[in-house]
Structure 1
């Protein structure tokens, strides 16, 4: 499970907040 999938589960519905965190994670992982 990657960070995005984990956050998606925490957010339940992958809200805009989740998408923002996803972007942050992607930038850090790059």
Structure 2
């Protein structure tokens, strides 16, 4: 179970960071 949880958390963190970077770049494009 711990291995599965680690994989799920890794996916969530990866997608979360990608989403944050995408949102930040989108905001900088909109603001300029």
TM-score (ref. length: structure 2): 0.47
The total of aligned residue pairs comes to 17
- Larger gyration radius, structure 1 or structure 2: 2
Uncovered stretches (5+) of structure 1, i.e. residues with no partner: 1-10
Stretches of structure 2 that go unaligned for 5 or more consecutive residues are 18-32
Bigger share in helix = 2
Query: Deviation above 4 Å: which 4+ runs of structure 1?
Result: none
CA RMSD, 1 decimal: 1.3
Higher relative contact order structure (alpha carbons within 8 Å, sequence separation ≥ 6): 1
